[in-house]
Structure 1
């Protein structure tokens, strides 16, 4: 089965008219990404910097055998079809190997950001009913705090660390078993027969934040990564299967913007991906990575690009091979396109649009049409995207603001459901349309323009933050009487989280409280969710029913 997504490249209009989804029988994502390629023993799939300063290369055959071992190890620990396995690992081979192993088993993988604190981790492990978590050495303290409260968990596999973490090995009969990932995998059989699946078989759950309520588990099927390929071809200028193509993103491998926008589509076409298991983003190191690994195509969030714009003379200082950059999560500003033209010698920078529930719906392609600063681009072949009335599903007239929507039927990137929550799933559907929750407008030439979210979601450095979740943590501090959290404009990050705090009676040391509140959110939710700005106020605007009016808080900032 050597099938791959083939997008007609004659013209945009031809591609829109002629493209259709046709998955082969018995489709399995792991087979598609690893086993179908010619010369898998010679074809590099993953490159990473080694501890001694050299590089480690893994071929597609290497990853196939290693993920076979992981699949056998998981099966030996009771993982079966439909079971959920959490991946709490940065950009290391164990991350991708665990996903692939799950899909070979018919199990469902669950990517988790290593920036999560214990509350964020605990909620997702419990809500997903995960039975195994693969956790990196860097997050073992967080995992140890959360695991005892997750009754469905039976095993913790630790990456690059001893399993004998004090809190992971309590002296009780019903404790979750902790073992070293490398040890259990090395002992496993390197052969594995794939279970029967097709492109609609459940494969992965990714959590997304909304403005109200807890995060929602978004369930996708095996076909989701192939579903990203038409957009992948567009924003990388139809250059995705070139012999010298090399792909890299600094984005968190827990995010659909990393896995779906770059990693797995690159493997679909049999091209190598670079992994960099580093900490916070460093623009100098980013350019070094691009040079060292001869990266030709990269996905960079807008915040990362803005940080790289402060590096002097990048084309002169670094021997760059980059031919195309894609970016998304927030609208690109004109100065980003100008910087790429002037400082990178005209490298194409193409904006893309999508969400966890339905990713890569709209993008740009300079070979097909002119990129217009501020526009997301045009709908991708294979996706019927429109601006609709969210109440009726009727298409809005050209130039009229409505909700951006995509037709669900037969589209592999549209999610199956919110995990075990049919009511919330139904609430995003009107007729044949999935509603994205984003307001936009389409012009006469088919370009889409983002206007606003229709809720209070905050997008900071490409991460989506639900204000309600942050408010819930802040309210646990004894100094907080009431709190409202909103996003406020920021030149570098697009938005930052700001908390308006009504302090409890008697609070006087506001600076100490401010730092305690930031630490509280960092520790319990995620490092990107903490409020960079905190303003103490005498009272907060409320409705007659006592609900904080976030809209009025945002208006204070304009």
Structure 2
């Protein structure tokens, strides 16, 4: 039996496809391992030692994954930054993380030049003034001299205040061995090593879950098909061409897939799909049902965090418990607490707290934030939810997004989920604005579907639709329209930007 792990597979099955780049170039396991070895040697030749940090701003590519694996075998931390950030934002992350090397793509030249001013060792894919070509990072052949397991250090999105890095202690493990937690995590979804698996990655690899899924897939002998920019029909085409078996997705992508005309959807063969995993945000119940009707019982949901712990639910369970994010993983604890740290009764919403075994983490250079998110050894992401009598978790919304109107708690995610399924709505955001009598009023901002005119008639139609599905106190007071909502490519909505525009 072939051993798992990038370097073991490279030795046993050197010509097995590891990565299909967005331009269609196939990179074998041997080629990916050789590139990771070269980068690892180059980093050590520049004096980096276990515990040091590098920052990378790269699009989805084999180069990004090779650099990631270079770090995983040399005991370093790697910070994959959101390349939609501007120069000062990335400069803050470089400084805060203590990065000694910055790697960027020429596509982001303006940001990279501004962000990397104070970094001595800078490398680029393509030409960036003041940066050396990435190909110059390492020469010769063979593995790096010092090999010990490194780790990603991911920064929170910074929707409130400065982003903070989630940093875990290094394990000192042998990088040739796939961490048991990785094998266990994929096992939750029934994904085995090899087994003709093909993973498709349509979201940016700077997201924690996206990088984890791609990295673990490679460690388990699966081919990873990379998309440079997610497009619904292109994803269907790649699923058919490469016989894709699994992926990590977000509800926004489901919504856009379902918006394709039926003749377009039906022309692609998706019978190879085995488990399409989604998370990151609550999925509207009707959207989930339509995906299950189309793809079958391969749509699996989970709720988890960079910091550790989570839940999952199969398609069969979800049909019994529609709207649930599932039960706690084996070894994970999920509790719903009030403001004083007491357990909420069954069915009563509160803050969702989690932990995973004895896993520990800290927000880099921010002990106060670390402690504020904890109750004992449990932590919270600030999500509000409740547990049913069988221990299944139902998510309501982020605490920071909750609207309090007339003393009543209102969850925008519920309103968004109902209106998102209207055929004339391409995207929607709901949030609260100050109101002199009620405390807050409900504002909806809608991105109309292509060809739909944003006028009073549409507002009337949407409000009438909402009245048939929501209580009166949950109805938006006003609806505005925009050409496009501010989302990142993984579907995360920057609601604060919308709200701040009204407040200013």
395-404 or 378-387: bigger deviation: 395-404
**Distance in structure 1 (CA, Å) of the matches to 2:323 and 2:78:** 35
The equivalent residue for 1:405 is 353
Could you list the per-position Cα deviations for residues 56-104 of structure 1 after superposition, in whole angstroms to 9, with x for gaps in the alignment? Answer: 2223332222101001111122222211101110111111111211222
Distance 1:266 1:367, change over 3 A: farther
- Equivalent position to 2:14, from 41, 44, 48: 41
1:353 aligns with 2:303: yes
Deviation at 1:143, TM superposition (A): 0.5
CA distance in 2, matches of 1:101, 1:47: 19
Q: How does 1:524-539 map to 2 (within 5 A)?
A: 529=494, 533=498
In 1, Cα distance between the equivalents of 2:11 and 2:339?
A: 47
* Residues in 1 aligned to 2:170 and 2:14: alpha-carbon distance in whole angstroms: 24
Q: 1:183 aligns with which of 130, 136, 146?
A: 136
Which position in structure 1 is the counterpart of 2:429? 495
Helix, strand or coil: the match of 1:332?
coil
Residue aligned with 1:395, SS: coil
> Do the aligned residues in 2 keep the contact of 1:371 with 1:377 (CA within 8 Å)?
no
SS, match of residue 266 in structure 1: helix
- Specify which of 277, 295, 298 is matched with residue 247 of structure 2: 298
Following TM superposition, by how much is the alpha carbon of 1:255 offset from its aligned partner in structure 2, in angstroms? Answer: 0.3
**Counterpart selection for 2:105 from 111, 128, 136:** 136
Q: Structure 1 residue aligned with 2:196, among 241, 244, 253?
A: 244
* 2:208–2:306 CA contact under 8 A, matched in 1: yes
d(CA) in 2 for partners of 1:338 and 1:367? 11
Deviation at 1:529, TM superposition (A): 4.3
- The 2-side partners of 1:158 and 1:249 are apart by 23
* Contact map agreement 2:157 2:163 (CA 8 A) in 1: yes
* In 2: Cα distance, 1:395 partner to 1:195 partner: 45
**Correspondence for 2:276 among 325, 329, 332:** 325
Aligned residue for 2:186? 232
Question: CA shift at 1:347, angstroms?
Answer: 4.4
SS in 1 for 2:12: coil
- Tell me if 1:339 matches 2:290: yes
Matched, 1:438 2:383: yes
Relative to 1, partners in 2 of residues 1:42 and 1:496: Cα closer, same or farther, differing over 3 Å?
farther
For residue 44 of structure 1, report the CA deviation from its aligned partner: 2.5
The 5-angstrom pairing of residues 196-207 of structure 1 reads: 196-197=148-149, 203-207=151-155
**Match of residue 374, structure 1, among 302, 309, 323:** 323
Given the alignment of the two structures, is residue 158 of structure 1 paired with residue 106 of structure 2, yes or no? no
Give 1:208's aligned residue. Answer: 156
- Cα-to-partner distance string for 1:353-386 (whole Å, 9 max, x where unaligned): 1223226x11112467756321111111221222
Mapped pair 1:126 → 2:95: yes
Whole-angstrom distance in 1 between the partners of 2:363 and 2:57: 21
Contact 1:249–1:299 (Cα < 8 Å) also in 2: yes
> 1:536, 1:429 → 2: CA distance?
32
Alignment partner of 1:87 is 2:56: yes
Q: CA deviation at 1:419?
A: 0.6
> Residues 194 and 365 (structure 1 numbering): CA distance in 2 closer, same or farther, change over 3 Å?
farther
Q: 1:531 to 1:395 in 2, by over 3 A?
A: closer
Residue aligning to 1:462 = none
Task: Give the match for residue 514 of structure 1.
Answer: none
Instruction: Please say if residues 49 and 276 of structure 1, whose CA atoms lie closer than 8 Å, have aligned partners that are also in contact.
Output: yes
Distance 1:533 1:212 in 2: 14
- Matched residue of 1:138: which SS? helix
Would you say the 8 A contact 1:85–1:131 is kept in 2? yes
Distance in structure 1 (CA, Å) of the matches to 2:291 and 2:374: 39
Q: Contact between 1:403 and 1:439, CA under 8 Å: does it hold in 2?
A: yes
SS of structure 1 residue aligned to 2:353: strand
- Please, what TM-score do these two structures have when normalized by structure 2? 0.75
CA separation of 1:309 and 1:222: change in aligned 2, threshold 3 A: farther
Shift in Å, 1:417:
0.7
* SS of structure 2 residue aligned to 1:189: coil
Match of 1:509 in 2: none
Residue 83 to residue 417, structure 1, CA distance change in 2 (3 Å):
same
| Structure 2 CA distance for partners of 1:284 and 1:311, relative to 1, 3 Å | same
Aligned counterparts of 1:376 and 1:273: Cα–Cα separation in 2:
26
- Preserved CA contact (<8 Å) 1:409 1:432: no
**Which structure is richer in relative contact order (CA contacts within 8 A, separation 6 or more)?**
1
User: Alignment partner of 1:436: what SS?
Assistant: strand
Aligned to 1:195: 147
Q: Distance in 1 between matches of 2:14 and 2:91?
A: 40
| Unaligned ranges ≥5, structure 2 | 172-177, 404-411, 421-425, 435-482
**SS of the counterpart of 2:137?**
helix
Do the aligned partners of residues 2 and 428 (structure 1) sit closer, same or farther apart at CA in structure 2, a change above 3 Å counting?
Answer: farther
Aligned partners of 2:493, 2:10: CA distance in 1, in Å?
38
Give the Cα separation in 2 of the matches to 1:435 and 1:530: 20
Asked if 2 retains the 8 angstrom alpha-carbon contact of 1:34 and 1:267, the reply is no
Determine whether 1:396 maps to 2:362. Answer: no
